[in-house]
Amino acid sequence: MQFTPISPSEESAPGACAEAIRRRVLSGALAPGMRLPPERALAEQLGVNRLTLRAALSQLVAANLLSVRQGSGYVVRAWRREGGPELIAGLSELAASASEQHAIARDLLAVRRAIAGAVLEALARGVSEAARARINTAVESFAARAEEGLTPDEAAELDLEVLATILEATGSPVFQLCLNPVASVLRSMPALRAAMYAEPRANALAYRALTAFVAQPSVDALPLVAAELARRDEATLATVTSKNKRRRA
């Protein structure tokens, strides 16, 4: 196992160092249970000093990618069992084929739908008038900007604001902490982001339907909402697949 020197031109040296090791772990080049080289040797391979390396290794320990014991060094953890959703972004970047990228996008959307269903159930139990007003304001702001014209990137950023407002209305930190990293990863995938926000006006219409649901919540409507979310996600995946095919042609 040999690392190549890093080039921390656009990010801090510890960040670049951590990313170099993280990629080796997520790609499988460093399998769970494998021990990293001693600090001195690893620092030389990466072309950094030991203080920089230790800062990078601390990041990876915090992310549950590595474990460390005094006198034993750093060992790769079973990150698929112990890691968090923030690792998904790295997996999506390493996806080598269109089919791998499609599978990651499909599964991410499925997770988002599952969490969205729980959020809708919470909203169906009722929210305060103040929270409802904040949701309406966020949605109408998104809709107004959509009418003016938005790029997918701009729409994604505004969508995060609407989503944050909705999550706050549930009063549940669990929903926020579970959905936030998934939403961030989705928006870190350019092809998927472009497909999700290709028609910002359609996104605005969907959010207006949500405000109607919040104004008159009904548990009976949840299956219909879930079916519509699934339909939209299938359309998004079809768009991503079509663009990938055209790119390869």
Per-residue model confidence as pLDDT tens digits over 16-30: 999 999 999 998 899
Question: Contact at 8 Å (CB) between 239 and 152?
Answer: no
pLDDT in tens, 113-143: 998 999 999 999 888 999 999 999 999 999 9
Is the pLDDT reported for residue 9 higher than 60?
no
Q: Are residues 68 and 175 in the same domain?
A: no
Residue where a domain stops, chosen among 51, 83, 115? 83
Residue type, 245: K
Mark whether 163 and 94 lie in a shared domain: yes
Q: What is the CATH number of the domain that holds 115?
A: 1.20.120.530
Q: Which of 67, 83, 99 is the last residue of a domain?
A: 83
Number of domain units in the chain: 2
Q: Is the model's pLDDT at 217 over the cut of 70?
A: yes
Residue 95 in any domain: the answer is: yes
At 245 the pLDDT is 62
* Residue 230 domain boundaries: 86-248
pLDDT tens, residue by residue, 187-216: 778 888 888 898 999 999 999 999 999 998
- Confidence label for 96 from pLDDT (cuts 50, 70 and 90): low
Same domain membership, residue 53 and residue 31: yes
pTM: 0.73
Structure tokens belonging to residue 90: 């790295």
Q: Do residues 71 and 92 share a domain? A: no
- Name the band, by pLDDT with cuts 50, 70 and 90, for residue 10: very low
198 shares a domain with 92: yes
Q: What gap in Å lies between CA 200 and CA 151, rounded to an integer? A: 8
The better pLDDT of the pair 128, 240 is held by 128
Q: Do residue 102 and residue 28 come from a single domain?
A: no
Q: Is residue 153 one of the residues assigned to a domain?
A: yes
Last residue of a domain, one of 66, 83, 100: 83
Q: What is the secondary structure of the chain as a DSSP string?
A: --PPPP--SSS-HHHHHHHHHHHHHHHTSS-TTPBPPPHHHHHHHHT--HHHHHHHHHHHHHTTSEEEETTTEEEE--HHHH--GGGHHHHHHH--SHHHHHHHHHHHHHHHHHHHHHHHHHHHT---HHHHHHHHHHHHHHHHHHHH---HHHHHHHHHHHHHHHHHHHT-HHHHHHHHHHHHHHHT-HHHHHHHTS-HHHHHHHHHHHHHHHHS--GGGHHHHHHHHHHHHHHHHHHHHHHHHHHH-
Same domain, 140 and 72: no
Same domain, 96 and 192: yes
57 and 90 both lie in a single domain: no
Residue range 19-74, pLDDT digits in tens: 999 999 998 899 999 999 999 999 999 999 999 999 999 999 998 999 998 777 99
| Pair 38, 154 in one domain | no
Asked whether residue 135 falls in the same domain as residue 244, the answer is: yes
Does residue 248 surpass a pLDDT of 60? no
CA distances from 40 to 49, 66, 71, 73, 159 (A): 8, 17, 14, 11, 46
Q: pLDDT category, 170, cuts 50, 70, 90?
A: very high
Is residue 4 very low, low, confident or very high in pLDDT (cuts 50, 70, 90)? confident
The mean predicted confidence, pLDDT, of the chain is 86
90, part of any domain: yes
Do residue 184 and residue 209 come from a single domain? yes
Task: Take residue 1 and report the two structure tokens written for it.
Answer: 């196992």
